[in-house]
Chains A and B, each alone.
Chain A
Amino acid sequence: MSVLEISNLTIRFGGITALNEVTLRAGEWEIVGIIGPNGAGKTTLFNCITGFYQPTAGRVAYRGTDITGLPVHKRTALGIGRTFQNVGLVKNATVRENLATAQHLQVSYDPWAGIAGGPTTFGEERRIRERSHLILELLDLRHVGEERVADLPYGVLKKVEIAAVLATDPDLLLLDEPGSGMGPEEATALGDTLLELRQQFGLSIVMIDHHVPLVTRVSDYVYCLNFGEVLAEGKPDDVRRHPEVARAYLGTEPETEPEPAPEPVPGPEPDTTPTLVGGAL
């Protein structure tokens, strides 16, 4: 059974069709990459999966159940966690406070018991703090725990965001440009982290990124969107070499330079698609 199954998803804003008949699936333990030029509808797709947008037509299913009409917070409760393109964190709070907030659904006491200061709430708050601590340790972020989010650089925030979304205890992780604002080395490290996290938490991951080398390295399957439609899909390298994909990105004929990139990426690799790095910034 696939974790996420999107069938014939269409969304229109006024006269503009942002997504047209998009069909996409992500299996258990799979990392699915979504690439595509700016304005292709990638983030809109995420917004439909998480429930910020209601699709005009089509269906979103999570582990076989139709979730198309569910509100955002209920989808989070089901295990869908997401990060945002422009950093989805509470900016005036510290990193630790953000992690505590993200564990909202893990807190066992009733909100009213918390407000009344019930005896169980104190121990539970301690447990939440310790869990935040563990997550920070896991992602090597302990040193920024007490920093205010607004004071941290963008690259670190992208990692903090992953920590926060992990704190929501997801099964399916939707990452919106996790590698933006990162250099090639950092992106490689991010790829390792993602593979490791999948291993440790048994996650399925859908990620949007413009950093094509990162996407091709970690993904099991890649979709390329353009103008709201799936332009190409398949194994990472197939999609990468797909003539339409190159045309969509570069606007030129593709076959001029096939360039079979080496499978393992050794450090700062010669970027085949340099224009795309951090393209959304």
Chain B
Amino acid sequence: MSDATRVLPVVTDASAPPATPAATPVVEQPWRPSRGGWVARGVVWTLLGWVVLALPLNVLSPFEVGVTDVDVASLAVIYAIGALSLNVLLGYCGQISLGHQAFVGVGAFASAYIVTNLQLSFFLAVGVAALFGAVQAVLLGAVSLRLTGLYFALVTLAYGSFAQETLFGITSLTGGEGGKPAPRPEFFTSGYRYYYLCLAFLALVLWIDWRLTASKAGRAMAALRENPRVASSYGIDVRAYILVAFAVSGLFAGVAGALVAHHDEVIVPSSFDFRLALLFVLMTVVGGLRSRTGVVLGAIFFALLEEGALVSMFRLEGFFEGLLGLPTEFVSLVVGPVLLVLTLTLYPGGIGQQVAPIRLWLTGHRFDRHAGAVDDVEVNDVRA
């Protein structure tokens, strides 16, 4: 009797014997774009592909001055991985982490150590970095399992500064203030090739993130974020799945860390400070929690802003530096919170909400400019 799994289809068949075809769900034919519609979508897809793949090549860049530096583009991709990492915790589980720089840093130093000190291969190093990221995240998660909301945020904040001041200061492992060299792998030493490598890792992370949300773990996280009691009554082990979220988040962060280490080719503990954690929060929230597209776009936006690329691209130095007296390197710390407030009050879905109509159109749906609207401001988005 405990397997109504088997009982159920039999029962429906028995209750309605002539309507057995109804057992296979009748799916209403969904709306399909016309041929012209497909062509239009194809054109946009090609354009997007060209922007992503060829923009850093600088040949046909629409902005000749801006993103000329392919390293900035790589950094944007790496930040996207880091932001997706935070999105797993903050978006899917509702656990706000203010110590994400430590997550990334652990991966960075692990990878640098393996490549420089142990002379092992880069790809192995990325794997180990991901593992290290996951393990430290699970440890932090296990320690703070009973905490939610602000209290959890405080623990991560403390953990972040602990890692920055203490963990990353162990000279034998991290090279101390002098930094640790982290050479790029043989084939990928050029900026372009490294960029494509980062893109490949982003694709992998996006795949995992997609499957996470489309499988039982993602559903469990969505349920426990909103209502842990209901989740457990569905048979979900709430604590176990919070730890799964930590593990996945740490995994992504570890990958991002390894990539950023070999991107800079030398890493210093001071680059993993609170500002980085703050940036990740901004990317994720302004990008739009739980929206993959939004988080990636948010990450790219803040990466370009942080690196000064956006400011110079639109020739805004005069405005920020001249008019407001704001040096370019601080622009993101002023613009970010402003955007954060605008997001929280006007568009809780962030960039993801803004681009949702386009995203849906691109994936073969009818264009609906209200699509993807987040009408309820989830005030208690962070589990209180």
Q: Is B222 an interface residue (CB 8 A)?
A: yes
Q: Is B69 an interface residue (CB 8 A)?
A: no
Across-interface contacts of A95 in B (CB, < 8 A): none
Q: Is A16 an interface residue (CB 8 A)?
A: no
- A121 adjacent to B211 (CB under 8 Å): yes
Measured CB to CB, the nearest residue on chain A to B12 is: A134
Across-interface contacts of A81 in B (CB, < 8 A): 233
Q: Is B230 an interface residue (CB 8 A)?
A: yes
- B232 adjacent to A97 (CB under 8 Å): no
- A100 adjacent to B219 (CB under 8 Å): yes
Interface segment out of the listed A72-80, A206-214, A235-243, A264-272: A72-80
Q: Is A84 an interface residue (CB 8 A)?
A: yes
Chain A contact-residue range equals 35 or more
Contact status of A137 and B237, CB under 8 A, knowing A92-B226, A171-B1: no
Q: Label chain A's interface by main secondary structure.
A: helix
Measured CB to CB, the nearest residue on chain B to A102 is: B234
Measured CB to CB, the nearest residue on chain B to A100 is: B219
Interface segment out of the listed B3-11, B136-144, B159-167: B3-11
Across-interface contacts of A91 in B (CB, < 8 A): 226-227
Q: Is B220 an interface residue (CB 8 A)?
A: yes
Contact of B216 among A79, A111, A201 (CB under 8 A): A111
Distance between B353 CB and nearest chain A CB, rounded to angstroms: 14
From 70 to 116 in chain A, residues with beta carbon under 8 angstroms from any chain B beta carbon are 71-73, 76-77, 79, 81-82, 84, 88-93, 97, 100-102, 104-107, 109, 111-112, 114-116
Distance between B365 CB and nearest chain A CB, rounded to angstroms: 14
- B219 adjacent to A169 (CB under 8 Å): no
Contact status of A125 and B215, CB under 8 A, knowing A101-B234, A104-B220, A168-B234: yes
- A114 adjacent to B233 (CB under 8 Å): no
Measured CB to CB, the nearest residue on chain B to A72 is: B232
Q: Is A131 an interface residue (CB 8 A)?
A: yes
Q: Is A256 an interface residue (CB 8 A)?
A: no
Q: Is A192 an interface residue (CB 8 A)?
A: no
Across-interface contacts of B244 in A (CB, < 8 A): 111-112, 115
Contact status of A107 and B1, CB under 8 A, knowing A82-B233, A88-B230: no
- B216 adjacent to A77 (CB under 8 Å): no
CA distance A125 to B217 in the complex (A): 12
Contact of A138 among B12, B216, B230 (CB under 8 A): B12
Contact of B222 among A79, A101, A105 (CB under 8 A): A101
Q: Is A200 an interface residue (CB 8 A)?
A: yes
CA distance A106 to B218 in the complex (A): 15
Q: Is A135 an interface residue (CB 8 A)?
A: yes
Distance between A180 CB and nearest chain B CB, rounded to angstroms: 17
- A117 adjacent to B1 (CB under 8 Å): no
Measured CB to CB, the nearest residue on chain A to B241 is: A111
Q: Is B170 an interface residue (CB 8 A)?
A: no
Across-interface contacts of B236 in A (CB, < 8 A): 73, 101, 104
Q: A residues engaging B (CB < 8 A)?
A: 50, 52, 71-73, 76-77, 79, 81-82, 84, 88-93, 97, 100-102, 104-107, 109, 111-112, 114-117, 121, 125, 129-131, 133-135, 137-138, 150, 164-166, 168-169, 171, 200-202
